[in-house]
Copies of this chain bind each other. A is one copy, B any other.
Amino acid sequence: MKSGDSTTINVPPESSAVSKGKAPLLPVAAGPASSGGWKKGIAIFDFILRLFAMVAALAAAAAMGTSDETLPLFTQFFQFQASYDDLPTFQFFVIAMALVAGYLLLSLPFSIVTIVRPFAAGPRILLLVLDTVALTLTTAAGGAAAAIVYLAHNGNSNTNWMAICQQYGDFCQKVSGAVVGSLIAAMLFVFLVVLSAMALRRI
């Protein structure tokens, strides 16, 4: 009888309660928490990318908008001057880039909402749709300006369009920089759209 008592004491009752009672609860609690952190990480990255894209779009608009060059030679009635508003494509570029930068500023609060609530699908879908439209605007403006910049650099002998960058070197440099800024913004938008899609997918 004494040996039977000692065997029952040897079994610890609390360890079995821990292993039996709490073990099935832990994976259930850890599942959504870890994927929520993953979604939150994507949302924070989205916010940072958005800031960079805004800087790129603003820089592109500013570089294009301040591109003025007046040549030191002039006649009595005429002054040789190049400015972005000589070409309608560059005007469109400035307007489009300013619009995109403004949209990115207004989209920052929605990006913060996706950081605070990683599982809310509504703000993400809104951002994805508007990002896609902004991507289209950015790429169209960048592509159009790039075509004109190429023409300004190289000209075209078949249509008798002369290159103007020999005369207006500084103007061309600024304009080329603006195009590069818009293409960087477009690349960031592609990343933003892909990130939003990744975050929208079911876990």
Interface presence of A5 (CB below 8 A):
no
Contacting pair B162 A160 (CB below 8 A):
yes
Q: How close is A130's CB to chain B, nearest CB, in angstroms?
A: 10
**Tally of contact residues, A, Cβ under 8 A:** 45
Q: How close is A120's CB to chain B, nearest CB, in angstroms?
A: 11
Known: A135-B136, A143-B142, A147-B148. A156 touches B194 (CB 8 A): no
Interface of A is mostly: helix
Task: Note all chain B residues with C-beta closer than 8 A to A156.
Answer: 86-87
Cβ-neighbour of A132 out of B144, B151, B194, B200 (below 8 A): B194
Give the complex CA separation of A126 and B198 in angstroms.
10
Contacting pair A193 B142 (CB below 8 A):
no
Contacting pair A132 B193 (CB below 8 A):
yes
Interface presence of A139 (CB below 8 A):
yes
Interface presence of A113 (CB below 8 A):
no
Taking A133-B190, A160-B162 as known contacts, 9 extra A-B pairs with beta carbons closer than 8 A to each other, sorted by chain A number, are A87-B159, A125-B201, A132-B135, A135-B135, A140-B142, A142-B143, A144-B146, A151-B151, A200-B200
